[in-house]
Amino acid sequence: MRSPLTLGVDIGGTFIKLGLVQESRILLQESLPSASFPHPKALQDGMVEAIRSLIHESDRSIGAVGIGIPGLVRYPQGMVHSCVNLRGWRHVPLRRLLSRRLRLPVWVDNDVNVMTLAEWKYGAGQGAKNLVCLTLGTGVGGGLVLEGQLYRGKQGSAGELGHIPLSEKGPRCSCGGMACLERYVGNREILQFVRQRLSKGVKSQIPRLIDHNLARLTPEVIDRACELGDRLAQETWEWVGTRIGLALTGVVNLLNPDRIVVGGGISKAGHWLLDPMRQTVRRRAMQGLKAVAIVPAALGSSAGLIGAALLARQEPGR
Amino acid sequence: MRSPLTLGVDIGGTFIKLGLVQESRILLQESLPSASFPHPKALQDGMVEAIRSLIHESDRSIGAVGIGIPGLVRYPQGMVHSCVNLRGWRHVPLRRLLSRRLRLPVWVDNDVNVMTLAEWKYGAGQGAKNLVCLTLGTGVGGGLVLEGQLYRGKQGSAGELGHIPLSEKGPRCSCGGMACLERYVGNREILQFVRQRLSKGVKSQIPRLIDHNLARLTPEVIDRACELGDRLAQETWEWVGTRIGLALTGVVNLLNPDRIVVGGGISKAGHWLLDPMRQTVRRRAMQGLKAVAIVPAALGSSAGLIGAALLARQEPGR
């Protein structure tokens, strides 16, 4: 028997990706620019239209729709309380609204939760009973699989690794807290770290790589400089990895997980970033727990789509 | 039908407590000084003898024995890998050894895990689906109930709240880590905090309460001084509570629990300690999560015994 087909939607700040998915294979995919949908109603209309046309195009029937959205989602109700990168998303009962219009079961969860599901089932987290998934980008997020189940916590907000405080005092965070991990290792902060060092006259090949235009600095440029043996670039990932390792030390001592999967943009830095994370955890976490595997994510930018479709497949009919 | 009777054993650094327990009622109890058992074999002999005599005295049959021990325990095997306050406990298969001698099912778990079970089932954690339990003493420990089940993690070590790092640098911890919560709010560190302030000439009623003999300083003395309006005493609990609140902020953002139960010796300080913890979490944790209830433990020093007996009752026959 063919495993059932579901439709996944990965709502991001830049693109809305939709795809027909069978297990971890994306059979048919579409992408819409998020900016074309200035408010939740417009985005819903756009999704309904795109979903119908994908189903029509494929000429197959689908069992359910799963959606990952970057915000605070009450699960399983599918009520979106707030959304990080999209305007106007306050208390939108997305699941109810869409399932009514599509006449299909719809499931809605936080985007990092569905990515975690995907990495756990098909990616670098396969076989782990207790898994921590960390996503690095402009924001720093996380998801938890505990005792073989996605763990959501009371309000569905569990896994906020980016908001573990690293010290008593430190920079204010958009979450209302202070000295959160994200305030040190979010993309903006990493670029700021490099710019500051450069402005202090630290020697580096980075300026040459971006024609001395610091506005063109990206994490990928830092990666390229690393490979060229640039000391500042390497130190940057060391600094970032050490800070992530500090937060993970607390997570490891608290949750004693089997494995930690690291994904998101800057995880492309590979061992330059992962090694200092591993070293910090090995140096600081408790005896017996410190051997936890820290591995790169395997599914890349498809994790959100695959995970959203997986969510829909895992859930009962309605 | 009467709920079945089980026997709980609470192994501590000072006393070994044994009791026949029905639900949360201790029907018959005995206490042995830990110092009389210089090595694991002697302690096993002592426990077997005391258990037999308690059963004999009660003239009732018991279903199983549950043991809480302050160490790293592999569960459900009941293999004690190491033990914090007792000598010679390296890789002792306690469950197997005792069940053979007693001809009864025996279950062995970490002492904080069984306390957590007790508070969750009969104490301040009742009804919580996701519960964090924090125990404050010479060591700082913790236990987690997640999705209505005690969460142990891969090696059975989960819940080590005392070993969440509070900053990048800080005092070395006995766990091998650095700047762990325990190194700021363990009993020794709290007394040290007060002594340092006094030696700097901070005015306080504390010296008078202990006849100017600083060796007699205890957390209870700080509590008494608090009630007398002593500023140093109040500041001490504020300082301690703020540090605990900092660690809990990370835990709340990571686990989004329903409730946090605080037990152990210094939790007797009550609101002097709990209020700064609550304020810190309310100030720093993420919107929506910060409303988590932080409440004092309810079962006091009986939690270990009741929890050990409960562990035995919850488990299948053998």
Q: What is the sign of the dihedral through the CA atoms of B252, B255, B258 and B263? A: negative
CA gap A87, A37 in Å, rounded: 9
Chain A residues with beta carbon closer than 8 angstroms to that of B160: 253-254, 256, 286, 289
Q: What is the band of B318 on the pLDDT scale with cuts at 50, 70, 90? A: very low
Structure token pair of residue A262: 């690291």
Among A300, A299, A318, which Cα is nearest to A23's? Answer: A299
- Is pLDDT of B274 > 90? yes
Q: Are A280 and A242 in contact (CB under 8 A)?
A: yes
Decide the pairing of beta strands B71-74 and B65-69.
unpaired
- Write down the pLDDT at residue A87: 82
Class level of CATH domain B6-117+302-314: alpha beta
- Write down the pLDDT at residue A316: 65
Cβ–Cβ below 8 Å for B147 and A146: yes
Among B166, B292, B288, which Cα is nearest to A175's? Answer: B288
CA gap A192, B252 in Å, rounded: 29
Q: Are A240 and A134 in contact (CB under 8 A)?
A: no
Cβ–Cβ below 8 Å for B286 and A159: no
Q: Report the residue from B151, B166, B286 with minimal CB separation from A157.
A: B286
CA gap A276, A291 in Å, rounded: 14
Chain B residue with CA closest to A148: the answer is B153
Q: Are A193 and A181 in contact (CB under 8 A)?
A: no
Q: Are A232 and A204 in contact (CB under 8 A)?
A: yes
Chain B residues with beta carbon closer than 8 angstroms to that of A164: 249-250, 253-254
pLDDT in tens, B214-260: 999 999 999 999 999 999 999 999 999 999 999 999 999 999 999 99
- Is pLDDT of A317 > 70? no
Structure token pair of residue A269: 């830095």
Closest-CA distance of chain B to residue A42, Å: 27
Distance between the two ends of chain A, CA-based, in angstroms? 22
* Total-model pTM: 0.94
Q: Are A133 and A144 in contact (CB under 8 A)?
A: yes
pLDDT in tens, B85-94: 788 889 999 9
Q: What contacts B154, CB < 8 A, 6 or more positions away?
A: A129, A130, A256, A257, A258, A289, A292
Q: What is the band of A318 on the pLDDT scale with cuts at 50, 70, 90? A: very low
Cβ-based neighbour number of residue A97 at 10 Å: 18
Map chain A to HEC letters: CCCCCEEEEEECCCEEEEEEEECCEEEEEEEEEHHHCCCHHHHHHHHHHHHHHHHHHHCCCCCCEEEEECEEEECCCCEEEEECCCCCCCCECHHHHHHHHHCCCEEEEEHHHHHHHHHHHHCCCCCCCCEEEEEECCCEEEEEEECCEEECCCCCCCCCHHHCECCCCCCECCCCCECECHHHHCHHHHHHHHHHHHHCCCCCCHHHHCCCCHHHCCHHHHHHHHHCCCHHHHHHHHHHHHHHHHHHHHHHHHHCCCEEEEECHHHHHCHHHHHHHHHHHHHHCCCCCCCCEEEECCCHHHHHHHHHHHHHHHCCCC
pLDDT in tens, A137-177: 989 999 999 999 999 999 888 999 999 999 999 999 989 99
- Is pLDDT of A111 > 70? yes
* Fold match, B6-117+302-314 / B128-297: yes
Cβ–Cβ below 8 Å for A165 and B249: yes
Helices A231-255 and A271-284: crossing angle in degrees, nearest 10, is: 40
Q: What is the band of A84 on the pLDDT scale with cuts at 50, 70, 90? A: confident
Chain A residues with beta carbon closer than 8 angstroms to that of B242: 168
- Write down the pLDDT at residue B252: 98
CA gap A172, A163 in Å, rounded: 11
- Write down the pLDDT at residue A3: 65
Q: Report the residue from B154, B156, B253 with minimal CB separation from A257.
A: B154
- Is pLDDT of A287 > 90? no
pLDDT in tens, B120-153: 999 999 999 999 999 999 899 999 999 999 999 9
- Write down the pLDDT at residue B269: 86
| Beta bridge partners of residue A66, listed in sequence order | A8, A107
Chain B residue with CA closest to A180: the answer is B250
CA gap A135, A143 in Å, rounded: 8
Chain B residues with beta carbon closer than 8 angstroms to that of A257: 153-154
Q: Report the residue from A72, A160, A287 with minimal CB separation from B253.
A: A160
- Is pLDDT of A243 > 90? yes
Mean predicted lDDT score pLDDT of chain A? 94
Among A76, A103, A72, which Cα is nearest to A89's? Answer: A72
- Is pLDDT of B266 > 90? no
More confident residue, A212 or B82: A212
Chain A residues with beta carbon closer than 8 angstroms to that of B158: 254-256
Mean predicted lDDT score pLDDT of chain B? 94
Chain B residues with beta carbon closer than 8 angstroms to that of A239: none
- Is pLDDT of A273 > 80? yes
Question: Domain map of chain B by residue range?
Answer: 6-117+302-314, 128-297
Q: Are A155 and B289 in contact (CB under 8 A)?
A: yes
Q: In this structure, what is the dihedral angle of CA atoms B191, B197, B198, B203, given to the nearest 10 degrees?
A: -120
Peptide bond into A76 cis (omega under 30): yes
Q: What is the band of B2 on the pLDDT scale with cuts at 50, 70, 90? A: low
Q: What is the sign of the dihedral through the CA atoms of B16, B222, B161 and B177? A: negative
Q: In what order do the strands lie in the sheet with B15-22?
A: B25-33, B15-22, B6-11, B65-69, B106-110
- Is pLDDT of A1 > 70? no
Q: Report the residue from B142, B157, B286 with minimal CB separation from A286.
A: B157
Chain A residues with beta carbon closer than 8 angstroms to that of B154: 129-130, 256-258, 289, 292
Q: Are B109 and B72 in contact (CB under 8 A)?
A: no
| Beta bridge partners of residue B165, listed in sequence order | B180
Distance between the two ends of chain B, CA-based, in angstroms? 22
Mutation target to probe the A interface, by most A beta carbons within 10 A, among B181, B248, B252, B253 is: B253
Q: Report the residue from A72, A246, A258 with minimal CB separation from B288.
A: A72
Cβ–Cβ below 8 Å for A253 and B164: yes
Mutation target to probe the A interface, by most A beta carbons within 10 A, among B146, B166, B254, B281 is: B254
Map chain B to HEC letters: CCCCCEEEEEECCCEEEEEEEECCEEEEEEEEEHHHCCCHHHHHHHHHHHHHHHHHHHCCCCCCEEEEECEEEECCCCEEEEECCCCCCCCECHHHHHHHHHCCCEEEEEHHHHHHHHHHHHCCCCCCCCEEEEEECCCEEEEEEECCEEECCCCCCCCCHHHCECCCCCCECCCCCECECHHHHCHHHHHHHHHHHHHCCCCCCHHHHCCCCHHHCCHHHHHHHHHCCCHHHHHHHHHHHHHHHHHHHHHHHHHCCCEEEEECHHHHHCHHHHHHHHHHHHHHCCCCCCCCEEEECCCHHHHHHHHHHHHHHHCCCC
The CATH-assigned architecture of domain A126-297 is 2-Layer Sandwich (3.30)
Mean pLDDT calculated for residue range B278-301: 95
Among A57, A96, A53, A51, which Cα is nearest to A74's? Answer: A96
pLDDT in tens, B31-76: 999 999 989 999 999 999 999 999 999 888 899 999 999 988 999 9
Q: What is the band of A14 on the pLDDT scale with cuts at 50, 70, 90? A: confident
What CATH number labels B128-297? 3.30.420.40
Chain A residue with CA closest to B250: the answer is A164
The amino acid occupying position A36 is S
Closest-CA distance of chain B to residue A125, Å: 14
Output phi, psi for A266, to 5 deg: -70, -10
Mutation target to probe the A interface, by most A beta carbons within 10 A, among B256, B279, B281, B294 is: B256
A271: left (phi over 0), alpha (psi -120 to 50) or beta: alpha
Among B117, B171, B172, B180, which Cα is nearest to B149's? Answer: B117
- Write down the pLDDT at residue A86: 81
Distances (CA, A) of B237 to A85, A284, B66, B190, B301: 40, 27, 35, 9, 21
Chain B residues with beta carbon closer than 8 angstroms to that of A149: 147
Chain A to chain B Cβ contacts (< 8 Å): 152
